[in-house]
Structure 1
Amino acid sequence: MSTPSADLPSSPTEEETSANSRNVGSKTLARGLRALEFVAGSGGGATVQELAAELQVHRTIAYRVLATLEDFKLVFKDPEGRYRAGAGLSALAHQVQRGLRETLEPYLRDLARELQATVALLVAEGDEAVAVAVVEPPYSSYHLAFRTGSRHPLDRGAAGHALRAAMEWSDGEPEIVTKARNEGYASTWGEVEPGAYGVAIPLRRGVGLPAACVNLITNRADVAERAIPVLLAKAEEINASLS
């Protein structure tokens, strides 16, 4: 009776096949998310060749990724042949923000209660910081507040600096942004609201998530100072929940 040669490769197990499939799927998803992020972040749109260089893939693969994103209205091709963020991205961004808000609101409530100050979650949208969740302290007789949906430019305020620190380093960025990235927080006074102190903690950015930060606003210098270690510790918990 002959026996199988020891040199013949064995067939993959069901577990190995499933794992390989997941790895391929994860790689494809990550590539699509990176492509979407690249196109959305390019002010003048992006070409197939530019995306291929960014992803370090062949033009054919870059084109297929863009075609898939175009099918879902996440990007569109303008008359010059450049791809830009599509209308479907707004709906997707809303769902991402909603997921972030629901995940982080318990942490925001804890912070507002402990620090007796208004705490908010802000994300970057283009060149603006947008408040997607705002929690006011439950027992404070006097506090500063602002509305969900409030916007201000990214180049000012603790939240704006923290959001830029949550992004990749860029040549020529302001010193306050570099400092926020190195120290883990940004602190300002009167840059958005006259007489208001702001302390913001940039959050670790996951794949497919916008730059985000937790921001505290108060009219008291002592509250702002006391908030720094509390916010830094809570940011570690938040980052673990998002990873």
Structure 2
Amino acid sequence: MTEPSSGVQALTRGVDLLEALADAGGEAGVSELAGRTGLAPGTIHRLVRTLLHAGYLRQLPSRRYALGPRLIRLGDSATRMLGRWATPTLTELVAAIGETANLAVLDGDHAVYVAQVPSPHSVRVFAEIGRRVPVHCTGVGKALLSALPAAEAETLLARTGLPAVTPSTVTDPDRMRAELAATRERGYATDDGEQEPGVRCVAVPVVGAHGAVALSVSGPEGRMDAAALRRAVPLVVAAGERLRTALAA
């Protein structure tokens, strides 16, 4: 097997370093990065100098390193492409179920909608692209939480709390833990008027090399009754699997 060139190896290590910083919450010191990547501190210092010069990292007054502002442009472009790649799957879901299909990602402590195909009905659920919503009371948010390690999900919810958005919002930590455990086991999350009264949603996490996104279908409770939800669940789960395969291609 051919050994990678020094340039390819440096690029691979640089990407590993950026991903380790992202996994650490966007900020870390050299020793923490060494532990996460397995790279020697001297190698990390050399990579950091290059990434700092290019604007992909910045150094904080504490001497720790953080993701730099130049990554914002790359992230915005990648998010737009993600929405474009997901649109055929969303369109198929709308055709099969008749309700609005959405794609969301985790951004900090919130879920953000990055793509949507609306229902053909005149009365339908609509979420603006770019809208940030709480994770504890939305189907996409709970799906994204379920894709995180349990301890990481707990830490996020400890930061945000479980404020009541509607009378149906889950505000008890033990009940939320149980709901996330059930979501992980069955593979999908639900939202029954927890973020908007009269709106029901089923969502699935889509996990792969790209990280995690959430795919959902939402509609008014008058159409999304118990029978409609039972029909929708396997269709949304299957769509999530198709999207996972598409994003891995």
TM-score (norm 2): 0.80
Alignment correspondent of 1:230: 235
**Structure 2 residue 181 is the aligned partner of structure 1 residue 200:** no
The percentage of counterpart residues that share the same residue type is 30
Larger Rg: 1
Q: How far does the alpha carbon of each residue in 1:153-212 deviate from its partner, in whole angstroms, 9 at most, with x for none?
A: 223311111112223342674332232222211112122111211111100231xx3421
SS at match of 1:170: helix
Partner of 1:73: 55
2:157 counterpart residue number: none
Say which of 77, 97, 108 aligns to 1:126: 108
Matching residue within 233, 242, 246 for 1:241? 246
After superposing the two structures, state which structure 1 stretch, 108-117 or 27-36, moved more. Answer: 27-36
Identify if the C-alpha distance between structure 1 residues 69 and 161 changes in structure 2 by more than 3 Å, giving closer, same or farther. farther
Instruction: Within 5 Å, give how 1:160-179 maps onto structure 2.
Output: 160-170=141-151, 173=154, 174-179=177-182
Cα 1:37–1:178 change in 2 (3 A) is: farther
Q: Which ranges of 4 or more aligned residues in structure 1 deviate by more than 4 Å? A: 27-30
CA distance in 1, matches of 2:151, 2:75: 24
Q: Which stretch shows the higher mean deviation, 46-55 or 177-186?
A: 177-186
Q: Deviations over 1:128-173 (max 9, x none)?
A: 10001111023x2322111111111223311111112223342674
Q: Cα distance 1:168–1:34, how it changes in 2: closer, same or farther (>3 A)?
A: farther
Aligned length: 222
Alpha-carbon shift at residue 28 of structure 1 (Å): 4.9
Give the letter aligned to residue 239 of structure 2.
Answer: K
Q: Please say which of residues 177-186 and 197-206 is displaced more in the overlay.
A: 177-186
> Cα distance 1:89–1:178, how it changes in 2: closer, same or farther (>3 A)?
farther
CA distance in 2, matches of 1:44, 1:241: 28
| Stretches of structure 1 lacking an aligned partner (at least 5 in a row) | 1-15
Instruction: Kindly report the root-mean-square deviation, in angstroms, between the aligned alpha carbons of the 2 structures.
Output: 2.3
* Counterpart AA for 1:61: T
Map residues 10-29 of structure 1 onto 2, 5 A cutoff.
16-17=1-2, 20-21=3-4, 25=8, 28-29=10-11
- Cα deviation 1:60-98 (Å, max 9, x = unaligned): 122233333323322211111011121112111112112
1:16-40 deviations in Å (ceiling 9; x for gaps):
54xx337983x65554334223323
Residues 95-145 of structure 1: per-residue CA shift (max 9 Å, x gap): 21122111110110110121111111101111110001111023x232211
In structure 2, relative to structure 1, the CA distance for the partners of 1:48 and 1:155 (3 Å cut) is same
Give, in whole Å, the separation in 2 of the partners of 1:43 and 1:60: 23
Within a 5 Å distance, the mapping from 1:178-189 to structure 2 comes to 178-189=181-192
> Aligned in 2, Cα 1:216/1:45: closer, same or farther, shift over 3 Å?
same
Secondary structure at the aligned position of 2:58 is classed as strand
Q: Could you tell me which runs of 5 or more consecutive residues in structure 2 were left unpaired when the two chains were aligned.
A: 155-176
Distance 2:64 2:86 in 1: 36
